[in-house]
A and B are shown apart, each in its own frame.
Chain A
Amino acid sequence: MADTRTNLLQGTLDLLILKALALGELHGLGVARRVEQITRGTFQVKPGSLFPALYRMEEAGWLVSSWGASETNRRAKYYRLTAAGRRQLDAETSEWKRIAVAIAFALQAT
């Protein structure tokens, strides 16, 4: 399981982050925890992969960030999806579904 967590395919990580943010804006740690929660603990996103991914996706125009206060009243940087981010989420979701179906078929084949 350790390998699965660290060697998250980049596309998968992007998809998970987009999905996490689709439900509302979050700060970095929030994204990590949300991903953990929605994957039922299968994926633990480490800061070493989370940070580059957030910056990359922001530069790609999928996310925007702004500083705000956290639930414990600490300064935190919040991310939310842009319109482009939503389109990207849709595109990646259908792409993922297509692959998942294909892999499922492949694995069932005898």
Chain B
Amino acid sequence: MSPLLPISRVRALWRNVFSKSRVEDDLDEHVRSYADLLAAEKMKAGLSPSEARHAALVELGGIERVKDEVRDVRSGALLDTTARDLRYAARTLIRRPGFTIVAVTALALGTGATTAIFSVVNGVLLRPLPYADPDRLVVLLHDARNPVSPANYLDWKRQSTVFSSMGAAEVWVGNVSGDVPERAQGLRVTSDVLAMTGVRPVLGRVFRPDDDAPTGEPPLVLSWGYWQRRFAGRRDVLDQRILVDGTSYVVVGVMPQGFDFPTFWATGVQMWAPLPLGERATLRSSSSLRVFARLRPGVTLESSRAQMTTIAASLEQAFPGSNRDVTVTPLAEKVVGDVRTALLVLLGAVGFVLLIACANVAHMLLARATARQREMTVRLALGASRARLLRQMLTESVVLALAGGVVGVALARVGLTVLIALAGKSIPRAEGIALDPRVLAFSALVSLLTGVAFGLLPAVRVSRSEMADVLREGARGSTEGGQRSRLRWVLVGSEIALSIILLTGAGLAIRSFVALRAIDPGFDARGVLTAVISLKGTAEQPPGRRTAFYQSALERVRRLPGVESASLINHVPIAGDIWGFPFRVEGQPKPRPEDTPFAVYRVVFPEYFKAMRLPILQGRDVTESDRLGSTRVVVVNDVFAKRYWPNESAVGKRITLDPAEDDPVWVTVVGVVKNAVRSDWAAPPQEEMFLSYLQARQYLESDGGHVAYMSLVARASCTPGTRCTPASLAPSVREVIASLDPAVPVTEIQTMDDVIAGATAGPRFTLVLLATFAAVALVLAAVGIYGVISYAVSRRTHEIGVRMALGASPATVVRLIIGQGVRVVGAGVITGLAGALLATRLMTSVVYGVRVTDPLTYVGVAALLTGVAMLASYIPARRATRIDPLIAMRSD
């Protein structure tokens, strides 16, 4: 036959699709005329007209059946039957709105939750970083976390051969002068860094090697967002001068929209400036750099690690203590490493919700299939093929699933907004989370698969049903086929088991969150407002004016109405930076370089401990009289005191921060304070020392920008019974600073409560989502149990009627009905607990203060679910006792 489609077939296809009613009429007439001819033939053979007609129809085998056979071979048959199945499915679903609404809701919750979480996973984990060949970018740090010293960076860069480029970056927060002075997040980078990303600027250029040691005005590259906001996107921004920290910078380039680098540790950078290492190049102790590199083509991560280990080992030999634990980490891992596990746990959790929704709809369909048994049997008897019935029922469930998917995507759209707000800063790259085509394709696929998954079992069951069985069952009308009811109980049991797993996960998250919130930060965060007051680049920066400015600012803030106490510290806990500083304890042997003790270096004005309500355990606070010229004093925290003077009082002991071997400047411990959290909320406390600002030479005398800002902590006076509103202090604090010098920006104004909330936002995010999913699962499971028991009751109406007529009490009936569910619930709970023991192992790294095998959680979850299950089966059981035996026995 010719490979070409014969013209007759094209015409047929056209006719079948577009003149369908005419084609159908013609077919109908054709079959009927055949029957007439057949009957005429029989009459001729001597049959009576009615006998002839009957015999003709028998020989024909059913007019509809013959028509169906023709429809199946016609061109466009697939299109045609699909359309018919779809119409039929839609009609069936609309005819039963209750069923449809419940099923679509369950599926929408399942697909909606899955879509929302998948879009987060897609945006954060799957979407590649927006750089050229992002997989080849790596970060070099100590212990995958700690910064690197300039000398180490330069040695690594010189000695390594596995990288095609290497550069260093340093955080930089600059005071940008202008009509409204502001602090902008910046990053100082060597010229390799921006070039390494392979991203071209939209305007101007990125840095060149000669920018690493700028001679004239240093160049500046702006982010797209900052360019839009501060320069209204004007193209003549190039070559403009901007005063940052009092230095004039020349704008040389603007990065494209959405560009962010490095997307971890310093995110949302608004401007990049060169990083001239200059005289710092030989420093091996002061570590402030993050080192970025691109793997040379053909070099694997492993071989780059091997080489860096060798280099670090030889440097460590030359400079002991300087090159410990040098790590090479892929940038992508560094960016999302912390949230990967949490997100995967959540993705697993929504998968369970989806499975539960599927199981729910599957047993609803099964129940309905039983009710439709007769319809199906009749259609089978009329000659419909089993394959046709199977296809039609599958079409129905896929339509149901797609409807659920559409509603689910709408839910996900709303949910995502809430989700992103909830995540706060705890999720990196959140700006890239969206319902993009990939996510939508995923949802469509999930809907389709779920439709087939929950539709297949009932469909196969029905299409396989034996006519004789059904008719017999139908005649008796009391109990249903044992196999099918067993399947439904298995589905409900699985729902219960899955819900237990989810509830356990949520329970652990709740317990973990409670434990996290129960951590004593050491200070009393309620009622404290903090703000950064930076003098960089202002007339107040010179050392002479700086101290006076801070002193008068503090004095005025303390006098503000509503302020109970206030002080200044270089970096507040959690929100602020952490500076480590080496020291030596008097009377203890000089340690080897790698064992030099470090402590967090804090510089405070008097009354810091009072404002924070950080209890002084021993000794005293620093005071106004701890100035230059008087004895140098320090307050240390509890772990510090216990570590270096384990069995005696620390007060009166001396340490030195002076590297001089002979006759260093000694500092006397005058007080010991309670441990306070540092930066990682749940990390164990570390040694801290608080020096008096008025004695800290660096702060009093240095010209450097790194000492030209302080953080204000102001405690609002809270009368008992009223709400503490430290945030309301913000305007008056701003006024005070502006009255001293309007060019000084007051930034990062936040309450300590908000700071703590931010520090626990990640666990809270996991908790809220897991709890939501678990709640949905619980509701779905309850609906499932309720549905199955109600159905069982309705099928046993007759039997219950007989029992009651024979004298069974209502209590007996309730026991009978509930008893039916108890075994299934029990089996589900036990399976679920076993599953939870396995599944929650994945959560080990995301829970805090609770073991993943926590018995309380398991017992609580089992009790909760059993209770809900009992309630869900009690309601239909109660209804069963109200059955009137007479009516029940007459039913059917």
Do A and B actually bind?
yes
Which A residue's beta carbon lies closest to that of B40?
Answer: A72
Interface residues of B in 815-852 (CB under 8 A from A): none
Interface residues on A, range: 20 to 34
Question: Is A80 located at the chain interface by the 8 A CB criterion?
Answer: no
Question: Is B74 located at the chain interface by the 8 A CB criterion?
Answer: yes
- Smallest CB–CB gap between A93 and chain B, Å? 16
Question: Is B70 located at the chain interface by the 8 A CB criterion?
Answer: yes
Considering the chains assembled together, what is the distance between the CA atoms of A52 and B12 in angstroms?
A: 14
- Smallest CB–CB gap between B12 and chain A, Å? 4
**Chain A residues, CB < 8 A from B374:** none
**Chain A residues, CB < 8 A from B66:** 47-48, 51
Question: Is B69 located at the chain interface by the 8 A CB criterion?
Answer: yes
**Chain B residues, CB < 8 A from A84:** 6
Once A28-B30, A60-B8 are accepted as A-B contacts, the answer to whether A74 and B70 lie under 8 Å apart by CB is: no
Which B residue's beta carbon lies closest to that of A64?
Answer: B8
The 10 closest A-B pairs by CB, nearest first: A61-B8, A59-B12, A52-B73, A61-B6, A29-B37, A52-B69, A56-B73, A51-B70, A47-B60, A55-B70
**Is A77 in contact with B30, judged by CB distance below 8 angstroms?**
yes
Considering the chains assembled together, what is the distance between the CA atoms of A48 and B29 in angstroms?
A: 16
**Is B37 in contact with A61, judged by CB distance below 8 angstroms?**
no
- Smallest CB–CB gap between B285 and chain A, Å? 88
Question: Is A46 located at the chain interface by the 8 A CB criterion?
Answer: yes
Considering the chains assembled together, what is the distance between the CA atoms of A55 and B31 in angstroms?
A: 12
**Contact bitstring A61-94, B, C-beta under 8 A = 1, else 0:** 1000000001010111100000010000000000
- Smallest CB–CB gap between B221 and chain A, Å? 69
Question: Is B36 located at the chain interface by the 8 A CB criterion?
Answer: yes
**Mostly helix, strand, loop or mixed at chain A's interface?**
helix
Considering the chains assembled together, what is the distance between the CA atoms of A52 and B66 in angstroms?
A: 8
**Chain A residues, CB < 8 A from B72:** 52
Question: Is B33 located at the chain interface by the 8 A CB criterion?
Answer: yes
Among B29, B59, B73, the residue within 8 A (CB) of A55 is B73
Question: Is B7 located at the chain interface by the 8 A CB criterion?
Answer: yes
**Chain A residues, CB < 8 A from B34:** 27-29, 47, 51, 76
- Smallest CB–CB gap between A75 and chain B, Å? 5
**Contact bitstring B16-58, A, C-beta under 8 A = 1, else 0:** 0000000000000111011011101100000000000000000
Interface centre among B33, B36, B60, by most chain A C-beta atoms within 10 angstroms, is B33
Interface residues of A in 21-65 (CB under 8 A from B): 27-29, 46-49, 51-52, 55-56, 58-61
Considering the chains assembled together, what is the distance between the CA atoms of A70 and B40 in angstroms?
A: 11
Once A46-B61, A59-B12 are accepted as A-B contacts, the answer to whether A51 and B33 lie under 8 Å apart by CB is: no
- Smallest CB–CB gap between B299 and chain A, Å? 64
Once A48-B65, A48-B66, A60-B6 are accepted as A-B contacts, the answer to whether A74 and B12 lie under 8 Å apart by CB is: no
Considering the chains assembled together, what is the distance between the CA atoms of A51 and B35 in angstroms?
A: 12
Among B29, B33, B41, B74, the residue within 8 A (CB) of A59 is B74
**Chain B residues, CB < 8 A from A75:** 29, 33
Q: How many residues of B contact A (CB 8 A)?
A: 26
Which B residue's beta carbon lies closest to that of A53?
Answer: B73
**Is B73 in contact with A48, judged by CB distance below 8 angstroms?**
no
Q: Taking A47-B60, A49-B69 as given, write out 11 further A-B residue pairs in contact, using a Cβ cutoff of 8 Å, ordered by the A residue number.
A: A27-B33, A46-B61, A47-B66, A48-B66, A52-B69, A58-B8, A59-B74, A61-B8, A74-B37, A76-B33, A77-B33
**Is A52 in contact with B70, judged by CB distance below 8 angstroms?**
yes
A-B pairs with beta carbons under 8 Å apart, 18 shown? A29-B34, A47-B34, A48-B65, A49-B69, A51-B34, A51-B66, A51-B69, A52-B72, A52-B73, A55-B73, A58-B12, A59-B9, A59-B12, A61-B6, A61-B7, A75-B29, A76-B34, A84-B6
**Chain B residues, CB < 8 A from A27:** 33-34, 37
Considering the chains assembled together, what is the distance between the CA atoms of A55 and B37 in angstroms?
A: 19
**Is B36 in contact with A74, judged by CB distance below 8 angstroms?**
yes
Once A61-B6, A61-B7, A77-B30 are accepted as A-B contacts, the answer to whether A55 and B40 lie under 8 Å apart by CB is: no
Chain B residues within 8 Å of A, Cβ to Cβ: 6-9, 12, 29-31, 33-34, 36-38, 40-41, 59-61, 65-66, 69-70, 72-75
Considering the chains assembled together, what is the distance between the CA atoms of A51 and B72 in angstroms?
A: 11
Considering the chains assembled together, what is the distance between the CA atoms of A51 and B61 in angstroms?
A: 12
Among A47, A60, A76, A77, the residue within 8 A (CB) of B9 is A60
Considering the chains assembled together, what is the distance between the CA atoms of A96 and B13 in angstroms?
A: 30
Considering the chains assembled together, what is the distance between the CA atoms of A27 and B30 in angstroms?
A: 10
Interface centre among A55, A60, A61, A77, by most chain B C-beta atoms within 10 angstroms, is A55
Which B residue's beta carbon lies closest to that of A62?
Answer: B8
**Chain A residues, CB < 8 A from B40:** 72, 74
- Smallest CB–CB gap between A9 and chain B, Å? 16
**Chain B residues, CB < 8 A from A77:** 30, 33
Considering the chains assembled together, what is the distance between the CA atoms of A45 and B61 in angstroms?
A: 12
Considering the chains assembled together, what is the distance between the CA atoms of A55 and B65 in angstroms?
A: 15
**Chain B residues, CB < 8 A from A76:** 33-34, 37
**Chain A residues, CB < 8 A from B9:** 59-61
**Chain B residues, CB < 8 A from A52:** 69-70, 72-73
Considering the chains assembled together, what is the distance between the CA atoms of A28 and B27 in angstroms?
A: 12
- Smallest CB–CB gap between B23 and chain A, Å? 10
Which B residue's beta carbon lies closest to that of A49?
Answer: B69
**Chain B residues, CB < 8 A from A59:** 8-9, 12, 74-75
- Smallest CB–CB gap between A20 and chain B, Å? 15
Once A51-B70, A52-B70, A59-B8 are accepted as A-B contacts, the answer to whether A29 and B41 lie under 8 Å apart by CB is: yes
Considering the chains assembled together, what is the distance between the CA atoms of A56 and B71 in angstroms?
A: 10
Considering the chains assembled together, what is the distance between the CA atoms of A48 and B61 in angstroms?
A: 7
- Smallest CB–CB gap between A35 and chain B, Å? 15
Considering the chains assembled together, what is the distance between the CA atoms of A48 and B40 in angstroms?
A: 19
**Is B61 in contact with A74, judged by CB distance below 8 angstroms?**
no
**Chain A residues, CB < 8 A from B8:** 58-61
- Smallest CB–CB gap between A70 and chain B, Å? 6
Considering the chains assembled together, what is the distance between the CA atoms of A27 and B31 in angstroms?
A: 11
- Smallest CB–CB gap between B351 and chain A, Å? 45
**Chain B residues, CB < 8 A from A56:** 73
**Is B73 in contact with A29, judged by CB distance below 8 angstroms?**
no
Which B residue's beta carbon lies closest to that of A74?
Answer: B36
Considering the chains assembled together, what is the distance between the CA atoms of A52 and B67 in angstroms?
A: 9
Which B residue's beta carbon lies closest to that of A56?
Answer: B73
Considering the chains assembled together, what is the distance between the CA atoms of A51 and B60 in angstroms?
A: 10
**Chain A residues, CB < 8 A from B75:** 59
Considering the chains assembled together, what is the distance between the CA atoms of A91 and B132 in angstroms?
A: 64
**Chain A residues, CB < 8 A from B60:** 47
**Chain A residues, CB < 8 A from B7:** 61
Which A residue's beta carbon lies closest to that of B72?
Answer: A52
- Smallest CB–CB gap between B15 and chain A, Å? 10
Interface centre among A46, A59, A70, by most chain B C-beta atoms within 10 angstroms, is A59
Once A59-B8, A61-B6 are accepted as A-B contacts, the answer to whether A47 and B37 lie under 8 Å apart by CB is: no
